[in-house]
Amino acid sequence: MDLQRPDSYQGGAGPHFSDHVLHKTILVGDSGVGKTSLLVQFDQGKFIPGSFSATVGIGFTVMLLGDSGVGKTCFLIQFKDGAFLSGTFIATVGIDFRNKVVTVDGARVKLQIWDTAGQERFRSVTHAYYRDAQALLLLYDITNKSSFDNIRAWLTEIHEYAQRDVVIMLLGNKADVSSERVIRSEDGETLAREYGVPFMETSAKTGMNVELAFLAIAKELKYRAGRQPDEPSFQIRDYVESQKKRPSCCSFV
Ligand SMILES: Nc1nc2c(ncn2[C@@H]2O[C@H](COP(=O)(O)OP(=O)(O)OP(=O)(O)O)[C@@H](O)[C@H]2O)c(=O)[nH]1
């Protein structure tokens, strides 16, 4: 396999993405062969010895789901690197992943985030990964009605393939494109309430609520993993409602 960095790649920390080209590559192989180390070496130009998750102490797996083109890859890259991939849209093939460590109430929590292909033809591949996920971020595109209409079908699949107590969050992405909005924020809220899941609108372009989505998930999972006696109870829906930002302009056509 010949891994070519994009022309704009300069090495080191920080985003260096070409505006026009996005290469998507999947690393496959048995557990422990060094897929993560290879990815870190390519991304940061260094080898991190020892077990990453062992060093961090606590880790969770989060999966991004939703129709093709809703912005899952951009959402992940905005969270991981603080950059937005504009330009040509290249659909994800199969599954891809990134790690990021976040700090929750003073503790370091590693999130391993799986970016799945939204296209129907990859569904059987992605189903195989559902059971390993502790949280699912389910995205639709506020400018694309069918991506919203398909949320019920996604939830049916989730109930069929995922863990019974998986944490689910519904996200209406591309909230920055208010002029092309076709799904009202209230519609997202109503659907989320019906299924008892937290909801917010996000923008992988501006970064609105992107970090909050992952932080809320990390808080909920850490809370579930081992609540300390003096720790107050954590309600993810209340937390999201109190913290989320709303799009500044709410024009609706
Ligand atoms: N304006 C705007 N565009 C976005 C946003 N998120 C993604 N896009 C654009 O939407 C297109 C699709 O984004 P991707 O992140 O590749 O979509 P995906 O959900 O990963 O698609 P699949 O890999 O096929 O499942 C790209 O052209 C992005 O630039 C957003 O928040 N705002």
* Residues flanking ligand 1, CB < 6 Å: 68-74, 85-86, 89, 91-92, 117-119, 173-174, 176-177, 203-205
pLDDT of residue 36: 65
Quick check: helix, strand or coil at residue 104? Answer: strand
pLDDT digits (tens, 9 = 90+) for 108-139: 999 999 999 899 888 888 888 898 999 999 99
Of 123, 232, 142, 130, nearest to 186 (Cα)? 142
pLDDT of residue 111: 95
The identity of residue 117, as a single letter, is: A
Assembly ipTM? 0.99
Among protein residues, the one whose CA lies closest to atom 12 of ligand 1: 69
Quick check: helix, strand or coil at residue 121? Answer: helix
From 64-73, 96-105, 162-171, the region with the lowest mean pLDDT = 96-105
Q: What number is the average pLDDT over the span 69-86? A: 93
Confidence grade of residue 6 (pLDDT, cut at 50, 70, 90): very low
Of 158, 156, 141, nearest to 63 (Cα)? 158
**In a 10 Å sphere around its CB, with 0-12 CB exposed, 13-18 middle and 19+ buried, how is residue 120 labelled?**
exposed
pLDDT of residue 5: 40
The rounded distance, in Å, linking the Cα atoms of 6 and 8 is 5
Identify the H or E element spanning 172. strand 167-173
Instruction: Evaluate if residue 33 carries a pLDDT over 60.
Output: yes
Q: What is the mean pLDDT of the chain?
A: 83
From 9-13, 131-135, 163-167, the region with the lowest mean pLDDT = 9-13
Q: Give the distance between the most distant pair of CA atoms in the chain.
A: 53
The rounded distance, in Å, linking the Cα atoms of 180 and 104 is 36
Measured in whole angstroms, the distance separating CA 184 from the mean position of its chain's CA atoms is: 22
Measured in whole angstroms, the distance separating CA 143 from the mean position of its chain's CA atoms is: 19
**Stronger pLDDT, 1 or 247, i.e. the higher one:** 247
Among protein residues, the one whose CA lies closest to atom 2 of ligand 1: 174
Please, are residues 249 and 179 in contact by the beta-carbon 8 Å criterion? no
Identify the H or E element spanning 110. strand 107-116
Atom of ligand 1 minimally distant from the CA of 76: 15
Instruction: State in Å: Cα 231 to ligand 1 middle.
Output: 38
pLDDT of residue 126: 84
